[in-house]
Structure 1
Amino acid sequence: MVSVEYLQTKYPGAQAWAFGDSPELANELAELVSKGLKTASCGSLVSYLSENNPPSVGSFHIILDGQQKPVCVIRLISLQLMKFSEVTEDFARKEGEGDLSLAYWQNAHRAFFSREGTFAEDMELVGEEFRLVSLCTPENTL
């Protein structure tokens, strides 16, 4: 297994983090990214603004699983500001979750943002699109 420290040397400035709010969700979403099925994500603008070093276009990110082990490296290719109620079917599909429908996306994210304490139909989101750069598997020499 490749270490976070090694990856941060290879990709200077890369932040290491996991998707979701539980180890199970982190595992599920990291797997979708590693398979190329998840190429987008979003977070509340409130959370984004509270980060010390918010993501920017071109930045590299080390995606961790639920056990905080590196799964892959992604590179952010776009950022967009949108309201929850304005998320499109296309963006929901790029998130790669469930049946890829907007209805699934809305239900899953309504629950997630409610747990976070930020949900509102008109809440602002930061939508991120990314591409998979590298997998962090023993077979992959990076």
Structure 2
Amino acid sequence: MRSMELGTPDGMRTELNSLVLAGQKTTTTGLLEDYAKETEDLEHLGERLALLDDQGQSIAVIEITGVEVKPFSEVTWEHARAEGEGDASLEEWRAGHRGYWHRLGTTVEDGTPVVCLAFRLVGD
């Protein structure tokens, strides 16, 4: 079983994982270029992934219910809101995600390809 690590292991991952476990976070967005860098295939519908904590331990199992690759500017408010991170608008979500990826060394433009994943919690 492949795994998923949300955010970065500096408190952010713990916060994001808690949102998943509470049922508030049912989507996530990643950069398509990161899949190439990590030589990873995209997730597929029905795939189950181990959700990992900061120590690399599985804390839950999620099942992929949606996979879309699209330009950053085409991410919908429905998807962004389902990330469950409390953004009040799509503009706020975009600014937060651009800032996050910028801190990690990647500039995200409107046309930057992203992977929008939807999932559901299926167990621990």
Note whether the superposition's TM-score is higher than 0.5.
yes
Query: 1-side partners of 2:61 and 2:109: how far apart?
Result: 31
- Equivalent positions of 1:3-22 (< 5 A) are 14-22=1-9
Residue 56 of structure 2: aligned partner: 68
Contact 1:23 1:65 in 2 (8 A): no
Structure 2 length as normaliser, TM-score?
0.87
1:27 aligns with 2:43: no
Residue 120 of structure 1: aligned partner: 109
Instruction: Report deviation, 1:38.
Output: 0.6
Query: 2-side partners of 1:78 and 1:96: how far apart?
Result: 16
For residue 50 of structure 2, give the secondary structure of its aligned residue in structure 1: strand
Structure 1 length as normaliser, TM-score?
0.77
Q: Structure 1 pair 53/99, CA: closer, same or farther in 2 (3 Å)?
A: closer
Query: 2-side partners of 1:132 and 1:59: how far apart?
Result: 12
1:101 aligns with 2:89: yes
Consecutive unaligned residues in structure 1, runs of 5 or more:
1-13, 137-142
1:132 aligns with 2:121: yes
Query: 1-side partners of 2:97 and 2:32: how far apart?
Result: 14
Decide which moves more: 109-118 or 78-87.
109-118
Consecutive unaligned residues in structure 2, runs of 5 or more:
none
Aligned residues: 122
Query: 2-side partners of 1:47 and 1:107: how far apart?
Result: 19
